[in-house]
Amino acid sequence: MTFSSAAGAAAQVAGISTSANAARAFVNRAVMQAVFNVLEQQGRAAGLPDFIISSILNQLTVNINYAPLECKDVVVNHPNPAADIRTTMDTRPKCIIFGTTVTALCNKDMCKLDGSEQNKLADTIPSTHLTISGTLMTTNIIMSNWSRQMWQSVVNRVLRATASRPFGLHFFSAVATVS
């Protein structure tokens, strides 16, 4: 998830946030809702009544850590994105976006994505903006004793669930660490 306060960015890129907090909140809601949906389905499959499932979910805390990418400017679906990057002395990234995916970053007027030698000046997206980490904590005695395999199964199903949501194709890997 990215954010931009650039004029017109929201009109050009569906779903781009206008602030870092809004981008983090979006990711947090998407992951938390997927976790709750998976656990709710699991509870129903086990034959638990809704009030018990609700009680169990109320004992779960999801904390997500994510550093959203700021786009000072955006160029969307352009055959030669460098031609549309406005030249400024600002060093914050200008984002090259195809569809809803940021594919490269450019600073100042140094970005060429036309196959020339200057192509090397386009930056890849730092991994800090591609990684979502988090913790699930529960005070439910049964869930707190689940095995690593059980939690990994939940995480795998959460990953599949996020794939069907907006930006779902960007969620492609997840690991559970039980401690």
Whether residue 178 is contained in a domain is answered as no
3 state DSSP class of 119? helix
Whether residue 98 is contained in a domain is answered as yes
The DSSP secondary-structure symbol of 118 reads G
Whether residue 179 is contained in a domain is answered as no
Q: Where are the alpha helices (DSSP H) in the chain?
A: 9-12, 20-45, 50-57, 141-144, 148-163
Range of the domain at 121: 2-170
Whether residue 20 is contained in a domain is answered as yes
Whether residue 92 is contained in a domain is answered as yes
Q: What does each C-alpha distance from 106 to 12, 103, 177 come to in angstroms?
A: 18, 10, 36
Whether residue 177 is contained in a domain is answered as no
What's the structural domain count of the chain? 1
Each residue's pLDDT, cut to its tens digit, for the chain (179 residues) gives 788 888 788 888 878 888 999 999 988 888 888 899 999 999 999 999 999 999 999 999 888 888 898 888 787 877 665 555 555 555 666 787 877 778 777 765 555 555 554 444 566 777 788 788 888 889 999 888 888 888 888 888 888 877 776 656 666 666 666 66
